[in-house]
Amino acid sequence: MTMPADCEVVFLHRPAPPALRPFYTEVATYEETGGFAIRQIETASLAAPLIISFGTPFRIRLGRAPVAGDEQPSFIAGLDTARIFIASSGRSACLQVNLTPVGAQRLLGIPASEFAGRMVPLADLAHPQISELRRRLEDTDDWNARLDCAEGFLAARFGAAAAEPSHPLVDAAFGLIASGAVHRIDDLATRIGWSRKHLADRFSRAFGLSPKTVARIARFNRAQALARAAKRPDWADIACAGGYSDQAHMIREFEDFAGLTPRAWWLSLDKLGSATWHDPPGR
């Protein structure tokens, strides 16, 4: 079962103010009220999502369909190239902050590479400020009030950080690659006065992925956004606008990151814009 047409999902989101976008892109709330099982797939992105759960925990697994025991309560996830398979009972609810890896590192005080490719329960982090945020969010059932609370928390945490970057060159390199402003990693290395190898080493130590892989994900995400915005995607145009050398190049990247051709991925989207999956027979 994927997402029935009459399934009720309340989804609110607020984009980050421009000054804080190096640290997070949006804060959102998600609430299922229909009681129908939902299956979704999230493909590789450049977000490090912080999830604070209020309902039945999601079952989540990297690279394959989740099973009993894969329940994930509140957690933070790092960068990864694998697809994320998500199952919920129809009674899940959460607040999600889409942190950038730069923001996640500032918030937690540890390199984003330490949680790349995995999900870390917030209980294991024992982070006092995040624990306090969770308690404040649990004090109200109003989703807009929760958004207000989260935005205030993020403004307080990142306001001073915006003026004092801890790793200015590495952070700037990530921002330039993620935005698509850099087309060749060699050019970026020259621009900041490092060798390509030194840039790759520093970048991977900070974020857990290489500059080249981050550039590939950024390009893939741009192509996804263009396709989602189109009623009938023109894949040749999207390949050109997305920065691919040709349509065949884009198809290979979609098959790598989404496990599907671009058209098959687009046809699999549900009404929330996520790809869906079905339980294997007998599960």
Same domain, 17 and 139: yes
Same domain, 100 and 239: no
**Do the domain assignments include residue 104?**
yes
**Strand, coil or helix: 87:** strand
Within a domain: 279 = no
Q: Please state the length of the chain.
A: 283
Residue 280 lies in a domain: no
Distances (CA, A) of 27 to 47, 50, 153: 12, 9, 11
Please report whether residue 32 resides in a domain.
yes
For residue 221, which of 210, 213, 231 has the smallest C-alpha distance?
213
pLDDT of 1 reads 32
Q: List helix spans (H) across 52-184.
A: 101-108, 122-125, 128-138, 143-158, 168-179
Residues 43, 104, single domain; the answer is yes
**Percentage of the chain exceeding pLDDT 70:** 90
Angle at which helices 185-192 and 196-207 cross, to 10°: 100
Residue 39 near residue 63, CB atoms below 8 Å: no
Q: What is the pLDDT along the chain (283 residues), one digit of tens a residue?
A: 334 445 578 889 999 999 999 999 999 999 998 778 888 999 999 999 999 999 899 999 998 999 999 999 899 999 999 999 999 988 999 999 999 999 999 999 899 999 999 999 999 998 999 999 999 999 999 999 999 999 999 999 998 755 565 678 999 999 999 998 888 999 999 999 999 999 999 999 999 999 999 999 999 999 999 999 998 999 999 999 999 999 999 999 999 999 999 999 999 886 555 665 555 444 4
| Residues 157 and 190 both lie in one domain | no
Residues 69 and 145 in one domain: yes
Tell me if 8 sits within 8 A of 33, measured CB to CB: yes
CA distance linking residue 206 with residue 181, whole number of Å: 20
Task: Kindly state the helix (H) or strand (E) to which residue 262 belongs, with its residue range.
Answer: helix 262-267
Domain span including residue 201: 168-208
In terms of domains, do 16 and 79 share one? yes
Asked if 41 and 144 sit in the same domain, the reply is: yes
pTM for this structure? 0.90
d(CA 283, CA 270): 22
94 within domain boundaries? yes
- Give percent above pLDDT 90 in the chain: 77
- Measured distance CA(125)–CA(120) in Å, rounded: 8
Residue 274, domain member (yes or no)? no
Residue 178 shares a structural domain with residue 263: no
The answer to the question of residue 262 being in a domain is yes
Count of domains for the chain: 3
CATH number at residue 216: 1.10.10.60
- Looking at the structure, tell me whether residues 159 and 203 fall in a common domain: no
Asked whether residue 60 is assigned to any structural domain, the reply reads: yes
Residues 252 and 220 in one domain: yes
Clarify whether residues 27 and 135 are in a common domain: yes
Q: What is the pLDDT of residue 279?
A: 53
Are 174 and 224 within one domain? Answer: no
